Amino acid sequence: MRLSSKSYFGLGFKNINCIENLLELLSANGFLVQVILRGNDKNMNSCPIERPKIHPDLELMAQKKLLVIGDLVLDQYIWGDVNRISPEAPVPVVEVQKETFRLGGAANVACNIASLSGQVEVVGLVGADENGEKLISLLQEQSVTTSAVRVDNNRPTSTKTRIIAGNQQIVRIDKESTQYSVQPLHSQLLSVILEKVDTVDAVIFADYDKGVVNSELIRAVTSKTKLNRIPVTVDPKVENFWSYEGVTSITPNQKEASIAVGIRILDQKTLLKVGQKILERLDLAHLLITRGEHGMSLFEKTSEGQLKVQHIETKAQDVFDVTGAGDTVIAVFTMALSAGLTPFQAAQMANMAGGIVVTEVGCVAVDRKKLNRFWEQ
């Protein structure tokens, strides 16, 4: 059903719960909604109808504009059933039922921002192929600005194909190039980034070691953002880990932090040692290490120069798939910081958001209604 802002229509419902989602959708898209209750149903007449309230923190976050720089990934899911073993080899035969596509990598970071009603533009590369077109189309469907996405004729669009049967991943197939982009194309990316950083409230590097981000680009961007005091956050991989000196925050997982420092995190003592080394060497305002079922640890320096560490625990829940949880964490953490929340509040919200997405199969963006409900509690 296609509606204009001046459309009028009537619908009949017997239960108020049936229209909550419709009211929210129409109101959010600028439609004036008037509800007239008729009949003798006491439940209907006694229930006030109003648009669900969004927490002020989330409303502030929605007013911010972010720039995401990094490796764009297309996630392909092939869903099916397994009823027999192949006679050709001891492997299951998957009878395909459906195929779906989702956004991954930096594209998923941008999608999470858009799902929370934030304004977001993404900078990255796709190949000159059908998957590249699909990825850009999916971004645009989520209201992500893609004018800074460039086509690289020398690489395929990074694509991860997951074959799933009975909600269990059977195998993953990666099609990608990890070579750095050629110089003319890299210069184009850098030029467009430097034009845009002055127009945003925060910058995110979503670095997956696929060839978009290198030390030259990092230095150029951080030099300009420092002049304008624009916060820069990073979801790093090991390759460029120590190139992010002077950014605002980074959000490595425990494994990445351990590898970068060369110390295995076994307990609180080794965790503190790793965190302090990263915080000091990169001269960060704050460091957020994600630790899976153990939650997160936020490292900061006080005004007196003392190390301050706060731990955020996870809530007990069923975890189906951790794919993309780090994308959600960096997106929500950065949005919250840009909206004026304290680093600890931002980490708490990011922890909640990460906990929401791991309850679903595959790479998904955080649901604004669910996050709103969790945050209000």
Catalytic (active-site) positions: 327
- CA-based angle 245:176:172, to the nearest 5? 105
Question: Cα–Cα distances in Å, from 253 out to 207, 226, 241, 333, 351?
Answer: 13, 25, 12, 14, 13
Structure-token pair, residue 88: 């050709």
Task: With H, G, I as helix, E, B as strand and everything else as coil, classify residue 73.
Answer: strand
Instruction: Report residue 105 CA to chain centroid gap.
Output: 8
Short-list 368, 356, 352, CA closest to 24:
368
Dist. CA 357–CA 337, nearest whole Å: 20
Instruction: Report residue 40 CA to chain centroid gap.
Output: 47
Structure-token pair, residue 288: 């957020």
Dist. CA 291–CA 199, nearest whole Å: 33
Q: Within 13 Å, how many C-alpha atoms sit on residue 316's CB side? A: 0
The edge-to-edge listing of strands for the beta sheet with 202-206 is: 149-152, 119-127, 65-70, 202-206, 232-235, 249-250, 286-290, 296-301, 307-312
